[in-house]
A and B are shown apart, each in its own frame.
Chain A
Amino acid sequence: MPINYYIFLAMALFSIGVIGVLTRRNAIIIFMCIELMLNAVNLLLVAFSKMHHGAAVAADAASQVGVDGQLFVFFIMVVAAAEVSVGLAIIVMMYRNVHSVDINFLNRLKN
């Protein structure tokens, strides 16, 4: 499959994530959109890694080029998991306080 398809998919996913973050008010959905953006990036990393690695192996069977891209994906997944646990905790606390997960209720610090 040509690399272009992966890129277009990742761009679509990332854009959906951005628009979701900007337009939705529900904190959980915004959270999910952030995950979507992270995963779009993950997808790109894996795709490019595979592309470069394939090209390098064709020239030299023992080449390690492009492997580090796949390692990054694991780091991102770990960080995302940590982020989710903290974020969900915030959302739970927020719900306890204002009985809502609408981010527009988060402007209490304004004044």
Chain B
Amino acid sequence: MNNVLHFAWLVPFFPLLGFLVNGLGRNKLSKSAVGVVGCGAVLLSFLVSVWIFLQVKGGNTYVAEYFPFINSADFKIPFAFQIDQLSSLFLLIITGIGFLIHLYSTAYMHEENSAHFARFFAYLNLFVFSMLLLVMGANYVVMFIGWEGVGLCSYLLIGYWFGNDAYNYAAKKAFVMNRIGDLGFLLAIFWMLAKLGTVSYGAVFSQAAELTTADATIIAILLFVGAMGKSAQIPLYTWLPDAMAGPTPVSALIHAATMVTAGIYMIARSNVLYSLSEVAQHLVAIVGLATALFAATIAIKQNDIKKVLAYSTVSQLGYMFLGLGVGAYTGAVFHVMTHAFFKALLFLGAGSVIHAMHHEQDIRKMGGLKKKLPITHLTFLLGCIAIAGMPPFSGFFSKDEILAAAYAHNPIYWGLGVAGAAMTAFYMFRLYATTFFGEFRGTHEQEHHVHESPSAMTIPLMVLALLSVVGGFIGIPEVFAKDAHALHHFLSPVLVTEQAHTMEHSTEYMLMGISVAIAAIAILYAINKFSKKPELGEPAGLGNVLANKWYVDELYDAVVVKPLHGLSVVLKNVVERSGIDGLVNGTGKLVHYGSRQLRLLQSGQVGAYLLAMILSIVVFMLVWFNDGTIMNLLNKIVK
């Protein structure tokens, strides 16, 4: 066994240990001890991940089998970890950004009492553990274990403040929506088992060519249904904006940087299956693009700082799926990485603002925070520029790679993608300008208390800001420098079906120029429009429709929830109450009534008993000898 296999299990082990220590000792440990355990566990796994990254950098891949998970006749599923370029990249993202967010949380959650503080860190560690299991698993079953684990942690953390009913509803909504997707994933696993008899990546991908196109399409689409739920794509995206009920670090870690990208990881991992089915690829691209545009339109009119970021996340995830759909797997994974940097940064920045404003999230009540929160302001600005796709920030490289691949596939995809990018730039800078420019619009008391966050919060912001700025340089497109796309080379052993697109350099420059110019115009327009005179009133017309999220929640309510609820009411009142209850109670009532009538026979009158006895004997004899013996006897006597 290789060294890597000896140490790989340590990566998920440390967060699991942290979860157990913090979870079991939540009533005994002090806050600082909890913070050290929670952050330390993730930091240790990050260090091991870095070491693993260095091991696989040269192109080696490993599969570590630990024990048989299911072992039944010829059906075997090992509990195994896949250590390769794709999983090691995700390990770095999860543990690296995870550590920064844990560090940030020690300050952000400091107002909670120590038992709840420990509960929070226990959940976060459990989440990191599940997420690591998800990306490290060497087969779809281990991935599914992690997949369910992150869903559970998402539920627990969205409903972390369980005293508030609305938050509990949001948590339930997230869980139920995810279950729908999970069902698709599970069916895909079953289909795979039925057709190939294995779920291990290596075996599935080497045998995938034996699948008929129909089978490959069904498996790919079912996997994509799973990804739709987890990665918040149309039609299962509505849980993600509501999931903002959780504490802000949770939104940053789970609902922006890591868990929601699990779907992208899964599809990138299964790229061999998708390459067999054009239908599935088109579906992924179209759903991704539609989600990117749809969510971007909604984000334009949201006034809750976290809601804007949530819709922005949905929209960016749409871009990643567009990339997957057009075969730009590297681009999608690249965007996962840069998005993890700048979106975690933006969420943590938003958290810093919310912290400073004493839990005010409405941007209409902020404004003029530029001077009061200098570090938050600067890092937030860098994050906004990165997400808007301005060169040479990280978002530019990854988004450009996806858009270029989309153009090679179909210029219409590219056009719509650029429109979405322009909207992204617009709503991000609307958010930025409304929050940080202009006059302060909060209460006098809030103005008095506004302060820059402690260093445990600003340091992660600065680190992430740095990554958002320079993170793109690992994926420099060929047009700028030949063979400079480090990420592409790094991932090429895993993403074997990457569809290379060749384009004239002039075309590519032109595409870049157009998208950057449009985004820049959108930025300037937004700053110009909102820095002096922010939107404070109620929106009208189309704006009102957008502010109400296209009434999708209402639509789902009318189409799915209400009919189901009606059916349940009918089942409860008719089938349950009068049917089943009626049957059970009816039996009881019948026996009760019958007994009451029979009870009258026991009168206590001895004469009545005797009469009954004699009559019974007579009847009994008549029946017993009903062949006429008695009558014959009597006849004989009379004669």
Contacts and interface: CB of A to CB of B under 8 A. Distances in A.
A107 B607 CA distance: 10
Interface in B584-622: 602-607, 610-611, 614
A97 interface: no
The secondary structure that dominates the A interface is: helix
B610 A107 contact: no
B637 interface: yes
A69 B610 CA distance: 28
B306 to A, nearest CB: 75
A98 B610 CA distance: 22
A7 interface: yes
Interface in A53-111: 103-104, 106-110
Interface string A7-19: 1000000000010
A107 B606 contact: yes
A103 B607 contact: yes
A25 B637 contact: no
Contact of A107 (B604, B614, B637): B604
Nearest to A109: B604
B611 A22 contact: yes
Contact of B607 (A4, A25, A109, A110): A25
B606 A104 contact: yes
Contact of B602 (A4, A21, A110): A110
Contacts of B605: 104, 107
A25 B608 CA distance: 11
B5 to A, nearest CB: 85
A22 B607 contact: yes
Contacts of A4: 637
B607 A7 contact: no
A21 B637 contact: no
Interface in A16-53: 18, 21-22, 25
Interface residues of B, number: 10
Interface string B621-639: 0000000000000000100
A4 B633 CA distance: 12
A53 B9 CA distance: 108
A110 B610 contact: no
A9 to B, nearest CB: 12
Contacts of A25: 607
Contacts of A7: 637
A22 B606 CA distance: 9
A106 B606 contact: yes
A104 B614 contact: no
Contacts of B604: 106-110
B603 A21 contact: no
Contacts of A104: 605-607
Nearest to A24: B607
Contacts of B637: 4, 7
Contacts of A103: 606-607
Contacts of A21: 610, 614
A106 B611 CA distance: 16
Interface centre among B605, B606, B610, B614 (most CB of A within 10 A): B606
Contact of B614 (A22, A108, A109): A22
B639 to A, nearest CB: 9
A103 B607 CA distance: 8
Nearest to B614: A18
A110 B603 contact: yes
A108 B605 CA distance: 10
8 contacts: A7-B637, A18-B614, A22-B607, A103-B607, A104-B606, A106-B604, A108-B604, A110-B602
Interface of A: 4, 7, 18, 21-22, 25, 103-104, 106-110
Interface of B: 602-607, 610-611, 614, 637
Q: Nearest 10 pairs between A and B by C-beta?
A: A107-B604, A110-B604, A103-B606, A106-B606, A22-B611, A21-B610, A22-B610, A7-B637, A107-B605, A18-B614
Given A22-B607, A107-B604, A110-B603, 10 more contacts: A7-B637, A18-B614, A21-B610, A22-B610, A22-B611, A22-B614, A25-B607, A107-B603, A108-B604, A110-B602
